[in-house]
Amino acid sequence: MWKLKILIQFILAYLPKGEQINYLLQKQIGSHSQERIKMYILENVKRLTFISEYVELRDSSVLEIGTGWNGVGALLLYLMGAKVVYTYDHIPHVRWELLQTSISEIEKQIDQISLITSIPYSQLYDRLVMLKNATSLNMIFERANIIYKAPGDARKSGLPDKSMDLVYSNAVLEHVPEQLIHDLTIETRRILKQNGVAYHAIGLHDHYVSFDKKLTNVNFLKYPEWVWALFIKNRISYHNRLREKQFIEIFKLYGAKIEAMRNKIDPHDLEVLKTMRIDKRFSGMTHEELATYHLEVVLSF
């Protein structure tokens, strides 16, 4: 099944309306279901609560890298008090129907959001109610003071120096070329206030593991780079395979200080790596460095 997905996305990457077809296929397999959006909301609330230990979100100015399909990140930043959110995506992914679903699911979870964040229910609801009767995507963004830049390039944000309290990304940096991560880090350093931070949640796992229970989080590390580049590094399914160590090295290259890190390793992956052939691209790395499948990092400059 996972090989079929790779083939389909490989073909779609070269079709004029490949992105739209990919979205319709994702809907068919439940990638944008209410249940998935609900889960995504709660995950993001917990991450934003973690971030709030390092920067005040209330009245903050935020740049979000990668708006995504449902706008959950930008909506939650608004809900938790952000003054303005500049959110960038390489193409206009956001769908009106998914934005409506996100708002509906946020309302259903507002008690739990209040519990997780310690923000009073009334404060959260007062901000949410501003969005409920909006009749268009643009109206929602206008009321939430979300500046949607798509197509947009967060590497060249056009924002003033030292103007942002937070630069935020979730499940984005694993899906862009390595040079772009360098460029984004340089731009982050330029636009962050002196006491501002950057936060990145990065999925370091094999993204096809959900399509085959026999796969592991490290399965994709065995393929030669030329094969990976040919079939995966395209505009639909791009995945750079960078490991945690490599991301941290890039951030530090531009003067980033690691304020906090959280990562995950599955012990089963460590056992698999003992006998699995690894592509030469990853030679010299320890099994722990290879097996880290999720990273959250808070940076300052």
**In the listed set 104, 119, 151, which residue is the last one of a domain according to the structure?**
151
Q: Check if the beta carbon of residue 191 is closer than 8 Å to that of residue 82.
A: no
CB 154 within 8 A of CB 180: no
In a domain, 47, yes or no: yes
Does 239 reside within a domain? yes
Tell me if 23 is assigned to some domain: no
Return the minimum-mean-pLDDT range out of 15-19, 66-70, 222-226, 275-279: 15-19
Q: Tokens for 253? A: 């290259």
pLDDT (0 to 100) of residue 140: 97
Asked whether residue 286 is domain-assigned, the answer is: yes
Residue 105 three-state SS: helix
Q: Do 187 and 253 share a structural domain?
A: yes
* Strand arrangement, sheet containing 61-65: 146-149, 84-88, 61-65, 164-170, 192-203, 292-300, 257-265
Domain boundary among 123, 151, 179: 151
- The answer on 173 and 94 residing in a single domain is no
Q: What integer pLDDT is reported at residue 289 of this predicted model?
A: 98
Between β-strands 257-265 and 164-170, what pairing exists: parallel, antiparallel or unpaired?
unpaired
Is residue 54 a part of any domain in this protein? yes
Q: Are residues 123 and 221 in the same domain?
A: no
Are residues 79 and 198 both part of a single domain?
Answer: no
pTM score, two decimals? 0.95
DSSP class of 277: -
| CB < 8 Å & 24+ apart, contacts of 221-229 | 221/276, 221/278, 221/279, 221/282, 221/290, 222/276, 222/277, 222/278, 222/279, 223/279, 224/279, 224/280, 225/279, 225/281, 228/279
CATH number of the domain encompassing residue 190: 3.40.50
Decide: helix, strand or coil at residue 261. strand
The verdict on 140 and 204 lying in the same domain is no
Q: Are residues 208 and 131 in the same domain?
A: no
Best CA proximity match to 174, nearest among 69, 246, 75, 103: 246
pLDDT band at residue 26 using 50, 70 and 90 as cut-offs: confident
- The residue behind tokens 């967060």 is 154
Domain final residue pick, 151, 178, 213: 151
Give, for 97, the enclosing helix (H) or strand (E): helix 96-108
Confidence label for 223 from pLDDT (cuts 50, 70 and 90): very high
User: Are 216 and 292 in the same domain?
Assistant: yes
- pLDDT score at 32: 86
The answer to whether residue 213 scores a pLDDT higher than 90 is no
Q: Confirm whether 211 is domain-assigned.
A: yes
Do 56 and 146 belong together in one domain? Answer: yes
Structural domain containing residue 186: 168-301
At CA 233, angle to CA 252 and CA 202, rounded to 5?
A: 40
Q: Is residue 12 part of a domain?
A: no
115 and 222 part of one domain: no
The mean predicted confidence, pLDDT, of the chain is 95
pLDDT of 8: 86
Residue type, 202: I
Tally of domains in the chain: 2
For residues 167-194, average pLDDT: 98
DSSP string, 26-77: HHHTTTT-HHHHHHHHHHHHHHHHHHTTTS--TT-EEEEE--TTT-HHHHHH
Residues 146 and 176 in one domain: no
Whole-angstrom distance, CA of residue 140 vs CA of residue 53 = 28
Mean pLDDT along residues 220-232: 96
In a shared domain, residues 245 and 191? yes
| Residues 5-9, mean pLDDT to the nearest whole number | 86
Task: Please say if the pLDDT value at position 4 is more than 90.
Answer: no
* Average pLDDT for 164-189: 98
Within-domain flag for 20: no
Q: Is the domain of 109 the same as that of 201?
A: no
